[in-house]
A = this chain, B = another copy of it.
């Protein structure tokens, strides 16, 4: 039930049902889920450590507010991690892992542009598989922690995937991995993440102000 509360809250936040800054009441959420406060509390604390909610002592939980400055910081760290992941993957990836990556890019091409959630899911899988191919589980863990925070940002930035450049960059990364060119893979991954950061920040500037979901 803790897991259920966690997943429900996470989904509510990422899908935009709960806007940033919204207060989350333990009794309220517990009743709406038909469970007691205990698992709700534990779910909130987990989300707090993941950076999706803010927990002030004695004053309850709120959905976290993220500033553009913070988005920039997170993407810069992600670029660092993903570049290293790509470098290691070029050295350590197995044949099966390379095929799985290739398969995801083919799947992305097959998905119609209007099915945004599906695109996002496969895109996410591609990057996760890339990091796992590094064979450094600590790197993967840190990366996933960072991404759960990033999800907050992308929630309302729909339609920005499948930019023309994105597809080309994905293939550049894969090609470098297949040719075992570590430095080239790192550069390509870094460029991809930083390019995406600019797209996100631009879209945010157009549609919002100092903060958003």
A136 and B73 contacting across the interface, CB-CB below 8 Å: yes
Mark out the residues of chain A between 25 and 75 whose CB falls within 8 Å of any chain B CB in the assembled complex.
Answer: 38, 41-42, 45-46, 49, 70, 73-74
A residues neighboring B (CB under 8 Å): 38, 41-42, 45-46, 49, 70, 73-74, 76-77, 80-81, 84, 136-139, 142, 145-146
Known contacts A49-B49, A80-B84; decide if A73 and B145 are in contact (CB<8 Å): no
Docked pose: A73 CA to B138 CA in angstroms: 6
Cβ contact of A70, chosen from B81, B84, B138, B146, cutoff 8 A: B138
Docked pose: A74 CA to B136 CA in angstroms: 9
B45 and A77 contacting across the interface, CB-CB below 8 Å: no
A77 and B136 contacting across the interface, CB-CB below 8 Å: yes
Closest residue on chain B to residue A74 by CB atoms:
B138
Residues of chain B lying within 8 A (CB to CB) of residue A146? 138, 142
CB distance from A189 to the nearest CB of B (A): 13
Copies in the complex: 2
Question: Which of A38, A80, A146 has most B Cβ within 10 Å?
Answer: A80
Closest residue on chain B to residue A141 by CB atoms:
B51
Cβ contact of A139, chosen from B41, B42, B73, B136, cutoff 8 A: B73
Q: List 10 A-B contacts (CB under 8 A).
A: A45-B46, A49-B49, A73-B137, A76-B136, A77-B84, A77-B136, A77-B142, A80-B84, A142-B142, A142-B146
